Chain A
């Protein structure tokens, strides 16, 4: 039974975590042991889950362990939905472990990372395996705390401590919301096992409330705007392989939680749910990418891009909800498949990009792209794989990011048949937001790649960088290969998730023709089709042909000289276009709306020799509108309550007595 293998693997991960505690005296060995073991276990888990997803093994049957709530126990099982997410998670985990075999050697304090890394993996796998609310929440919290410990690994930096604090608060908030959601679904008689929870009949108001709680709970972990504020702080603070896991993989656990609750446990969807989900998804996609494009810190830029991609996945999920609520099963299957496909794609290319950011960090010690440049000469292999990742994330054919977005567009084109007017008016706007965010993502990664890898080095660290170790390169190459494969033969992925679509929306996409066309056909031949393989072949053939023809029949001569630059080349690298100047036109056009940004100019009065100053003021609106007032109130309240610390013993006794009386009165009224 695959679930036994999976649980056994999780147990091994926990044992590895415990063993790591005792091995920290020999950091070099501990690093190899922990990442090697974690990678192997993740590989076993992934193969098991893949076999389960493809229906090669029997997945029926549930394991009940006598731990957890009395009379409930801890239930674990694998169904197609969990199998898919297990594949995504353990694929990312295996790649991160492989990468960390090389990258982890640079860790200054391995004892702060090694024990928590396998524990984090174990937590994520347990969330997916859990089949009752209690185990789910315990695993969820375990995952949050393990990742919090990893975020705090480099706690000496002030900003990392702040990131850790904000993350802890948001994670607790999210878990609380999920707790309430499960509590509502379990009802007064406490039906905690998913198998029974699914069949409960709820009051009319309850499913809607559960949806909102799931959006708050799972959405805060996934990074939905405006609950995303912790994400760009916490994800970059961790070591890069952990950042890759948090951004690429842990957000998928959150997506799993959302899909599990909303599509599976709570019952039939209502159309207005999709409007909420889609609106939040579109907002998240646009806000995320606008933040990303103005960011100078490479890892924070990637974290904001995660926010964007989560928005895209939620757009797909929202469309699937809209179709499912109107019993349009085939379009729902298309939208859901697209959303899951994009989730898989994001885990691949975001892992790759964070590995690349880690490689740059190892090579130069810099995260600020403004201090990089010219890395394509110094890190030749990293530059190639990161270029591939940047293309994939910018949704360019023939890579994978394009395929999933193309499928979402196809789902949007089916939505005029939706009967609700609100949805009819909303879906075109969502489509525009999706197209807009895809285009901006292209600009964002041209900027990031162009400033960091191209041009001339802007610092001595960038000028003297060296290529990173083999493990890191192989891990990145592996992910790029998977990106390419998913882009070129997307039919494989679509067919693999068909059992998930059947389970979740009761229908699947038509089987994709593998031969001879290798194209994907979401609805019908005449309507739309796309063949990544042929696009790749055509591009390769025509560029090869052009290069061959020119080199065969025309000049092959090549001479290197100083840059032309309209006749006035300046040798100083500071004359290059910077990241900020690249983003300036975009900030100027979209900033006043998105960030209320403006420029403050300070001109010294005539005669004053001090320099004039120019400062860009940019506001993070979700922080200022939503969080600043709340945290301000909490701080003021805490200040007030501070006096309670310094009371006399008599006052404390009086307070205790008053509280007791108060509670008794409440109980009396309740009964």
Chain B
């Protein structure tokens, strides 16, 4: 019985993140438009876009290889599996022992690997420029993320995300190192999700774009799958920040129905606040020059590193 409930929670979580991800995108777009005094698209526009895309015919370049057609599904699957392992409304995820926080980072790296390769498959200049820049950013964002993981793991004594969330829930305390890790994670999240100041999700001005340049050749259902994966990734990062740094409201393992509902409601609240903060930050800052981004990510790496160092010096920081 317990196993069935755990499986149900895990399954519900997977479906939940998949359904919720485009909404988060819609909310950020709407909020952003409101902040700029525009009306903005309807909240559910991302769903409509996805639906429209999957119904359309796919046009691919003559020399596209099988990798180009397979990559969207691999990217989507890796991102979805990673997103399914981040606790959203309940901690006791059945499969959380499958992959810990380091493995989640690596799953996102797998998605990125295929995205960059897909960008290079057609052999156009845009795909290459996007892939090249994406890998440059990743070369700093990934170690920053690992350093953030180190901080969290040293504080909680585990790299298992469910375990970490439980620990944070029960032993919450203000720590310098966690503060540094939070800032590092926020910077990494901005970079990984191609948000301002690293990349502009709304732009189609080719020379400044990274993510959009890689997926330039995609259309129809392939593009839909990639867009959905990108939305999932944004939700993943927001959930990650929420479950590690503001774990309150998460339903503990083996809890009844009511805590699960409370968990779900607080989770919606948390990601709404996250979306608002993201939009507020994005509207109040300008996009960076590409070669300033490594400095920003380097700062994230340094913060994560300092946090880890502090914890190596003393567990009480």
Contacts and interface: CB of A to CB of B under 8 A. Distances in A.
Interface of A: 373-374, 376-377, 383, 387, 391, 394-397, 402, 406, 409-410, 412-413, 415-416, 424-425, 427-429, 431-432, 435-436, 438-440, 442-443, 446-447, 449-451, 454-456, 517, 519, 525-531, 534-535, 538-543, 546-547, 550, 553-555, 557-566, 569, 573, 575-578, 581-586, 588-589
Given A396-B106, A416-B154, A428-B150, A563 B121 contact: no
Given A531-B97, A531-B99, A546-B76, A454 B123 contact: yes
B146 interface: yes
B103 to A, nearest CB: 5
Given A528-B159, A582-B128, A589 B95 contact: no
A576 B73 CA distance: 25
Contact of A431 (B58, B112, B138, B146): B146
Interface string B189-229: 00000000000000000100000000011011100110000
B113 A432 contact: no
Given A432-B147, A529-B97, A577-B132, A546 B67 contact: no
B97 A517 contact: yes
Contacts of B126: 565-566
B129 A577 contact: yes
B102 A428 contact: no
A561 B138 CA distance: 32
Contacts of A534: 95, 98-99
Interface stretch (B28-36, B38-46, B49-57, B257-265): B49-57
Given A413-B150, A427-B312, A550 B221 contact: yes
B246 interface: no
A456 B58 contact: no
Nearest to A586: B136
A592 B117 CA distance: 27
A426 B15 CA distance: 43
B81 A589 contact: no
Contacts, number: 285
A578 B220 CA distance: 28
A450 B131 contact: yes
Nearest to A426: B312
B290 interface: yes
Given A454-B123, A559-B59, A439 B142 contact: yes
Interface stretch (B235-243, B275-283, B301-309): B301-309
B139 A440 contact: yes
B158 A526 contact: yes
Given A424-B312, A531-B97, A535-B103, 9 more contacts: A396-B113, A397-B106, A442-B138, A447-B135, A450-B120, A454-B65, A517-B97, A519-B98, A559-B57
B87 to A, nearest CB: 15
A443 B143 contact: no
B50 to A, nearest CB: 10
Interface in B115-153: 116-117, 119-129, 131-133, 135-136, 138-143, 146-147, 150, 153
Q: What does DSSP make chain A's interface, helix, strand, loop or mixed?
A: helix
Contacts of A535: 81, 98-99, 103, 107
Contacts of A428: 147, 150, 305, 308-309, 312
Contacts of B4: none
Nearest to B147: A432
Contact of B57 (A374, A449, A558): A558
B63 A377 contact: yes
Nearest to B162: A526
Interface of B: 54-67, 73-74, 76-78, 80-81, 84, 95, 97-100, 102-103, 106-107, 109-110, 112-113, 116-117, 119-129, 131-133, 135-136, 138-143, 146-147, 150, 153-154, 157-160, 163, 206, 216-217, 219-221, 224-225, 290-291, 294, 301, 304-305, 308-309, 311-313, 315
Contact of A416 (B120, B140, B143, B312): B312
Contacts of A573: 123
A527 B132 contact: no
B61 A561 contact: yes
B113 A413 contact: no
A438 B144 CA distance: 12
Nearest to B149: A409
Contact of A588 (B95, B139, B291, B304): B291
A446 B135 contact: yes
B120 A454 contact: yes
**Nearest 7 CB-CB pairings of A with B:** A577-B128, A455-B123, A450-B120, A543-B77, A443-B135, A435-B143, A439-B142
Nearest to B101: A528
29 contacts: A373-B123, A395-B109, A406-B103, A410-B159, A416-B311, A428-B308, A431-B150, A432-B143, A438-B142, A442-B109, A442-B112, A450-B131, A455-B120, A455-B121, A526-B158, A526-B163, A527-B159, A529-B98, A534-B95, A535-B98, A538-B95, A540-B77, A543-B76, A543-B77, A546-B76, A563-B122, A565-B216, A575-B125, A577-B132
Given A431-B147, A546-B225, A394 B59 contact: no
Contacts of B304: 432
A585 B290 contact: yes
B132 A581 contact: yes
B61 A564 contact: yes
B7 to A, nearest CB: 13
